[in-house]
Structure 1
């Protein structure tokens, strides 16, 4: 009995003589008798309540003892949990597996995607008081698949108990099911997706095509010899050759592409819509060349015959409206490639085949020109609407191709992006701009900031910020002379990393501008949270603004939104006075376009500024 109970009984015993004395002295009055009876009743009721409490606690202890003994004896995975999902008691088998970790917080519907299950299960428990299903437990030493039942507990014998958990280990069954699925969808020799899986994935890629990513593609790779069940003269079997080919192909392509074994002597590569940037022939051309180069380097030296491959390429929607049609087009293209010679690739569309040859030649010229200083930066002025004066320039690259003449950026930038040479071009532009700013400072001709376009590949470089900082130090310049116009796709990166990079640039002194505002996926959250100084309205909106009221309304709304966020607004691609007038009325800050001046070499800037001064003087008089 608890100490409080013994004290109560002791007090009761002491009270008995006192009650007799009181009764003797008060027996002569009826009120005294009633008061004595009331006091006696309270004492008796208290003693009875204490006895019942003792009995209830004894019953609870007995029931808990029975539960603990049952859990100790069972081999099942059973546990009683409190409201914080901590185990009050568990079967020996479960304790051995979990080592007292929080079971509910270790449950996953998909451990690979780290999708936790407990929050969803709790919502069901609140409505139905029980939940049953399959989950994965991420235990300290293993990943366990279990069939699970969780029930809310209202056991008065154990008030702290909130949930009863019963689980069954189904890991082996899951693994067997996965193995059976792999046997149906995977090639047993290479573990790559087989033809069934490739066709399903191709159909999924087609369904995922959107206006933003309208194309997807199939590359069919057919080897001249990987067949034959008998080992060749060097002892290599076809299985070894196929395994080597699969390994080499995986190394040749980025992990984002789907590689599968299409047939006994051929493989397939699927390019998802987001990997088929327009013009689509550029990435496909690059990919086909990478694959052929890798195949030519395969370590098949022990094989007595040369192993080579042909590639057929088909695209959606031009070469087929569904997976079956695309496969048929690729098979026809690979046959044509095989007849053309060794290590060739062929597009199902003859026009793209011609483009592929042209792009390969252009890529070679681009690489050569990078080492010959054939590129020059031109400058297009930006005018302030309020002052009608030049307040900065955008740096635009021109390629002085020895064979083709001066080439505009749209002729080669897509190729530079696909080949990875865009980073070298971006850095070349910044160095040339630094040289020009130095000269303008010395001759007192600098007018505002120089705006440079920053590509996604440049932004993703590990030394991105370091390059700008080091280059500024080399030329003894400040970042305040430059504006960085950031490709809209940059803002699709994780927000934390994006914010860190932009803050570093902002701290250096660069102005940061979101390019092509209104033509992508940048959210209001990005504009509010990131250290931006301005936005540049997308040219697609400017070009259609005169004819389409909707485009005018969208442009006006974007300018007002930027104003609310205290961001400077620049509009480029201004070709006529009506566009300039509408943007002026809408509240745009700066204008840029051929209406005022095309991009010119730095040597022509003084004449341009002189013309500007004459125009202002004429207007003033």
Structure 2
């Protein structure tokens, strides 16, 4: 590019870059960045254009005001004949993609970093741990994982408020970064849990005394009070330690061992650490067999959905379905959801399982729409772990595009624990899902620990009354009063209310006169296989057509 000079720029160039024509015409084209001129990229572009006649790509450069800007640039070699002699020009055309690149960078940060502390999140930590395990060799054969849990953090949150709790988490992150080696990976693992990875090149060759000293250093770092807004807070922590390869051959088993050690430490009292010890923390072979079967079942798409109809309060009109997971076995039996769902939640496979079930829901809804069937919304449960994971939005967005299904036909059911474990994260996640068009339902309302004051702050569309209140609604005055209060609360907050577990005519009647919008339970219908649900919708369509023809 040393022999090239800029001969002309248009108005758009000046508007985007901030340079005036006089600043650049007659001068060499240069790519300047915060760290100086990028001569290597300049030379590469020049070579490509000379040899192929064209180059295109994305690059970062500085505008006239010194601000970074991203460009999508295409450079083309042009030959113009002047007096029978070819003269070469180079035409550069670009568009400003700074906003898009900034958004991509922000999304990457959200998917790999904790929004409160700025530390790596669970996903990035697990990826780092997997990479560290794969790097182990004869020279550096081992590594250490430490899980740190803040004792009684929920009480601190309730007492001081979530804003103060967030400041405390930031201070804890800073203190851990200060007292630990910069080569360690420190992550926020969950709401009140941090994880530390001591990589092979720093841990291999160390004795157990090094690990004990490290755990002791971590615990001592919490002895100094934390101060926010002149309020002094004293906290303690518990640690669980696990070593690769002694306590686990991969990331999943290593973290499970560390978590088991952490549980034992907490059971012994506060401000303690505990190593994983197979004599104290036996990994039940039965559980491992079940987990293996669960993973195999997910991989082989063994899980199916059944669809339980939901009806209007008077019981005469179908208002939607709830999609419920089932795991049929080859011998004709079925593993109950209350067995495989807690197992999937405990080992983290619930996300992968739900992803496969979401595909089934979208495919079913797509089929019903193509057949012009009227079915309302189909609800599906989202676990707390999945709801708090950034991948949920990406998965749902992709499914919306792939199946061309309106989000208004899908209802996402979350639990109170998913909402209250991290209210700020829950609020952001709900707003994003609402912006895509999804309906948000709060499942099993009344069994968790959300307050009415907090409930009004969330963009919830539907309240589902837990079946435990419906069970004794006919004879139990207390359950009847609680149910009636929940229904009135939902109406005040402009929410629909669904009663699940309706099994008798008396229950349905009481809920109807209380003003419950939607009823669900075996009194109306048991959960239906997808083909049976399809037949039901087809029958309703025929009935509606007959009714219209008679009017």
TM-score by length of 1: 0.46
2:207 to 218, 241, 244: 241
Partner residue, 2:351: 423
Please give the per-residue CA displacement for 1:549-578, whole angstroms capped at 9, x wherever unaligned. 111111111111111111100011112222
Displacement of 1:536 in angstroms is 0.5
4+ residue runs of structure 1 moved beyond 4 angstroms? 244-250, 290-294, 309-316, 609-618
Partner residue, 2:115: none
Instruction: Out of 485-494 and 472-481, give the one that drifted further.
Output: 485-494
Partner residue, 1:503: 431
Does residue 521 in structure 1 map to residue 449 in structure 2? yes
Aligned pairs for 1:400-415 (under 5 A) are 400-402=328-330, 405-415=333-343
Structure 1: gaps of 5 or more residues: 1-189, 193-197, 209-238, 259-269, 276-286, 299-308, 317-321, 339-343, 347-352
Tell me how far apart the structure 1 counterparts of residues 472 and 422 of structure 2 sit (CA, whole Å): 33
2:247 to 291, 295, 303: 295
2:311 to 369, 383, 391: 383
Displacement of 1:436 in angstroms is 0.6
CA contact (8 A) 2:375 2:537 kept: no
Please give the per-residue CA displacement for 1:15-52, whole angstroms capped at 9, x wherever unaligned. xxxxxxxxxxxxxxxxxxxxxxxxxxxxxxxxxxxxxx
SS in structure 2 opposite 1:596?
A: coil
Displacement of 1:489 in angstroms is 1.1
Aligned pairs for 1:26-65 (under 5 A) are none
CA contact (8 A) 2:303 2:326 kept: yes
2:325 to 377, 397, 413: 397
Please give the per-residue CA displacement for 1:183-202, whole angstroms capped at 9, x wherever unaligned. xxxxxxx9x9xxxxx9xx99
Partner residue, 1:569: 497
Please give the per-residue CA displacement for 1:148-195, whole angstroms capped at 9, x wherever unaligned. xxxxxxxxxxxxxxxxxxxxxxxxxxxxxxxxxxxxxxxxxx9x9xxx
1:560 to 488, 491, 513: 488
CA contact (8 A) 2:373 2:538 kept: no
CA contact (8 A) 1:437 1:446 kept: no
Partner residue, 1:602: 530
Does residue 593 in structure 1 map to residue 545 in structure 2? no
Aligned pairs for 1:396-545 (under 5 A) are 396-402=324-330, 405-545=333-473
* 1:610–1:247 distance in 2 versus 1, CA, 3 Å: farther
Displacement of 1:377 in angstroms is 1.2
Partner residue, 2:184: none
Tell me how far apart the structure 2 counterparts of residues 420 and 506 of structure 1 sit (CA, whole Å): 25
Tell me how far apart the structure 1 counterparts of residues 495 and 439 of structure 2 sit (CA, whole Å): 11
TM-score by length of 2: 0.51
2:291 to 363, 377, 381: 363
Tell me how far apart the structure 2 counterparts of residues 392 and 475 of structure 1 sit (CA, whole Å): 19
* 1:271–1:410 distance in 2 versus 1, CA, 3 Å: farther
CA contact (8 A) 2:302 2:328 kept: yes
Tell me how far apart the structure 1 counterparts of residues 482 and 259 of structure 2 sit (CA, whole Å): 46
Structure 2: gaps of 5 or more residues: 1-143, 157-204, 222-235, 251-256
SS in structure 2 opposite 1:486?
A: strand
Please give the per-residue CA displacement for 1:228-269, whole angstroms capped at 9, x wherever unaligned. xxxxxxxxxxx942145559999xxxx99x9xxxxxxxxxxx
CA contact (8 A) 1:487 1:514 kept: yes
Please give the per-residue CA displacement for 1:334-382, whole angstroms capped at 9, x wherever unaligned. 7xx65xxxxx844xxxxxx8xx332211100011111111111111100
Please give the per-residue CA displacement for 1:274-322, whole angstroms capped at 9, x wherever unaligned. x9xxxxxxxxxxx99x768553669xxxxxxxxxx99999999xxxxx9
Higher RCO (C-alpha under 8 Å, 6+ residues apart): 2
Q: Greater CA radius of gyration, 1 or 2?
A: 1
Q: What is the root-mean-square deviation of aligned Cα atoms in Å?
A: 5.0
Tell me how far apart the structure 1 counterparts of residues 395 and 258 of structure 2 sit (CA, whole Å): 42
SS in structure 1 opposite 2:456?
A: helix
Q: How many residues align?
A: 335
SS in structure 2 opposite 1:551?
A: helix
